[in-house]
Amino acid sequence: MAPARVAGGTRELDLRGLLLLLLQAILYFAVMAGLLRLRRRLGIGVFVCALGVMHFLETYLAAVFFIELPFGLISPGSTVLFSGKLAMILLLYLLEDGETVRQPIYGLLIGNMLMVGLVLLLRLYDPPATLTGYNPDLALIDHVGVLMIWGTTLLFIDSIAIIVLFDAIVRRLRGQVVLSALLSLAAILTFDQILFFVGLQLVAGTPASALFGGWIAKMGAAVAFTAMTAIYLRWGEQRPASPETGGVADVFSKLTYRYRYEELLNRSRTDALTGAWNRQQLDVAGPQHLAQAAARGRAFGLAIIDIDHFKQLNDSLGHQAGDAALVGAVVAMKSSIRPGDQIFRYGGDEFVVICGGVPAEDFLAYAERLRAAVAQADGGALTASIGIATFPGDGADFGELIRAADARLYAAKRDGRNRVASGTM
């Protein structure tokens, strides 16, 4: 299937071809950006459907329709439609988040693969009924189908890669969104041009001039679509402030559904009311963290925290007030512990905090900060009694530390509550 070539090399024809491509790009961006702008009213599905419905035309034009310019052959399907699709996916990410933008990414992959599968099933019925003056070009369908499989696979990789790359670049450039978008779009389009041309060469016998010519055109498309994106972000819709993430790995997790898996996994490990880790997770994580600390020769400590007079609070103010008090206490304790420390709900109104790296002589002050945080959680209405234990002085394993801290907790309650009890008392 040899590509159709447009004859001529005059300046007039070159300018006409470039102008047509630019007009296509403007029309494409204007319509797609308009649908994106209306997503709150029409729903994101309208944008996603419009994005995916042109994939067959995009692949067909990339295989058979070329414009000849001095620097080589270029295809509107590849230069405008594909480049525009990636630009719109990136724009959606800029305006939304990784969890939203993965919808068209996965939808395009599954929908296009389904289209190819359905066509392959139709090939089992051969020959089809003949019609006067028209017969289906199954060879063309086969060629385009192969290119669609290859192109869809690349599209899936490109779509995830451009967002991950953008997130990495924008961090390096300290929030320069437009320049980061241009660099990431140019890099991914370069990657795609090389690999998609391999498929074109094998399936359609596309000449080598389409490789360089297509790359030049895609770099121009990257500039044009980035400029239109900048205009849209300036006058069409302001980009919301992006929340801090854990970096590229966090973005990749959200795009590849690892985020949802980890979120569901975390829900099974956490207490539904307070958000602290649950008792089952303490039984697993506690001994593990202690073993790691012992292997590295680091200090390890735990504190058992009991909310004072919690039963009376429940009885006098009701369970909703009691629940709110527990949530407030956990929020306060989380604000006073270090990022690597963990808090677990041990029982009804009892919690355990574990941490590594705090020397035994400093752990009493650490627990005092926990007690003070609880006392400030509800305007002084709550207090907490705390028992602490440290490794290795108070026990050689996690069970011994729990028993030592529990005994000291009862000592703190017996001595008047709202205090920390340690082995030195």
- In this structure, what are the phi and psi dihedrals at residue 92, rounded to the nearest 5 degrees? -60, -40
Maximum alpha-carbon separation in the chain: 101
57 and 190 fall within a common domain: yes
Stated pTM of the model = 0.59
Q: Which residue, 63, 24, 31, is CA-closest to 47?
A: 31
Query: Domain range spanning residue 58?
Result: 11-258
pLDDT tens over the chain, length 425 residues: 444 444 444 444 467 778 888 999 999 999 999 999 998 888 888 998 998 888 888 888 887 788 887 878 888 888 999 999 999 999 998 888 777 788 888 888 888 888 878 877 877 877 777 777 777 776 777 777 788 888 888 988 898 889 889 988 988 998 899 999 999 999 999 999 999 999 888 887 788 888 998 999 999 999 999 999 999 998 888 766 554 455 556 666 666 655 555 555 566 678 888 889 888 889 988 999 999 888 888 899 999 999 998 888 888 888 888 888 899 999 999 988 888 899 999 988 999 999 988 888 899 999 999 999 998 877 667 899 999 999 988 988 999 999 999 999 999 999 999 999 887 65
The per-residue pLDDT for range 43-68, each reduced to its tens digit, is 888 998 998 888 888 888 887 788 88
132 and 228 fall within a common domain: yes
Could you tell me the CATH number of the domain that includes residue 360? Answer: 3.30.70.270
109 and 134 fall within a common domain: yes
154 and 285 fall within a common domain: no
201 and 111 fall within a common domain: yes
231 and 284 fall within a common domain: no
Residue 234 falls within a domain, yes or no? yes
Give whole-number Cα distances, 272 to 30, 327, 329, 342, 359, in Å. Answer: 46, 10, 15, 16, 32
The per-residue pLDDT for range 10-31, each reduced to its tens digit, is 444 467 778 888 999 999 999 9
Residue 90 falls within a domain, yes or no? yes
Residue 126 falls within a domain, yes or no? yes
253 and 279 fall within a common domain: no
Give whole-number Cα distances, 41 to 193, 232, 373, 392, in Å. Answer: 36, 18, 45, 62
23 and 158 fall within a common domain: yes
Separation CA 132–CA 394 (nearest Å):
93
Residue 303 falls within a domain, yes or no? yes
**How many other CB atoms are found less than 10 A from the CB of residue 111?**
16
